[in-house]
A and B are shown apart, each in its own frame.
Chain A
Amino acid sequence: MRMKVKKLVCPQCDTEVEGLYNLSLLSSLTPDDQSFIVDFVKASGSLKEMASQMKLSYPTIRNQLDEIIERLQKSK
């Protein structure tokens, strides 16, 4: 079961709102996976571009993406 957020705080005016809020699906991923997704979006979804930037092979990058997709499907 995924955690929920109970309190939201504004860092500027310290306003606090209490409730029960859903976390985004992406927040269930590890920081490394989240960083991968950000890089993927920055590379316009091009695995070839990502592989070139990260100096890794195309299948290595594609396999990482497949693993993240699998984790997202499990945490749904």
Chain B
Amino acid sequence: MTTSELLFNPYKRYAGLTSLAAGLIIISLTALITSFGETHLDGVIDLHIGSGVTFQMAIAEGLIDFVSMGLFLFIASLIVSGSHPRAIDIFGTQALARAPFLLAALVNLLPKQDQVIKYVEYKYLHSGDVVELGSMDIVVFAFAMLVTLLCLVWMVALMYKAYAVSANVSGAKAVVSFVAALILAETVSKYLISSFIL
């Protein structure tokens, strides 16, 4: 398996139970890190710096994100796929597709991420306390933002590939059904997390 395949299409080799097990380990590790880093994954493609994040809260957020996406993609696959997609492949590959957020969670452990948010709130929204920031804090924050953004793009690319392989769909049919499932999953996961977790 080439590096490119490993990064963007691991599903050629790994799907079903194997990827589900690996994905659940990744989701748990991500939850552990986000609980240390005070980061919320409050939606399928969301990562926000917050406060008061417990491990239970973080794991619930991770599972809601993963199940929402898996469920809507499975429904989409039943509608558009001419093949016989298995739920274990859809859910398993979607769990593994969340791996880039493990890296994003690690990067957001960098110090003073929340201070930059508080600084912006104070300076531009005129709320909260006065926060002093050095230029290095801004550089570190910008680096974390850039890496997080790249991880988000990478995760969405993996989610799409996972869906295309698991459901055997391609072209406009695959793109439209994926985008529709992503929008629905994002809406439902945000609603569930904001109503029952936060």
A binds B: yes
Question: Cβ of B8 < 8 Å from any Cβ of A?
Answer: no
Given A62-B83, A62-B84, verify A57-B168 contact (CB < 8 Å).
no
Q: Which residue of B lies closest to A60 (CB)?
A: B12
Q: In the assembled complex, which residues on chain B have CB atoms less than 8 Å from the CB atom of A63?
A: 83, 165, 168
Q: Is the interface of A mostly helix, strand, loop or mixed?
A: helix
- A56 lies within 8 A of B12 (CB): yes
Interface size class of B (residues with CB under 8 A): 10 to 19
A15 to chain B, nearest CB (A): 47
Q: Is the CB of B165 within 8 A of A59?
A: yes
- With a cutoff of 8 Å between Cβ atoms, the chain A residues found around residue B11 in the complex are 57, 59-60
Choose the segment among B13-21, B34-42, B135-143 that binds chain A (4+ C-beta atoms closer than 8 Å).
B13-21
Closest chain B residue, CB of each to CB of A55? B13
> A56, A57, A66 — which one has the most chain B CB atoms within 10 A of its CB?
A57
CB distance B168 to A58 under 8 Å? Answer: no
Residues of A within 8 A of B (CB): 55-60, 62-63, 66
Measured CB to CB, the residues of B under 8 A from A are: 11-16, 19, 82-86, 89, 93, 165-166, 168
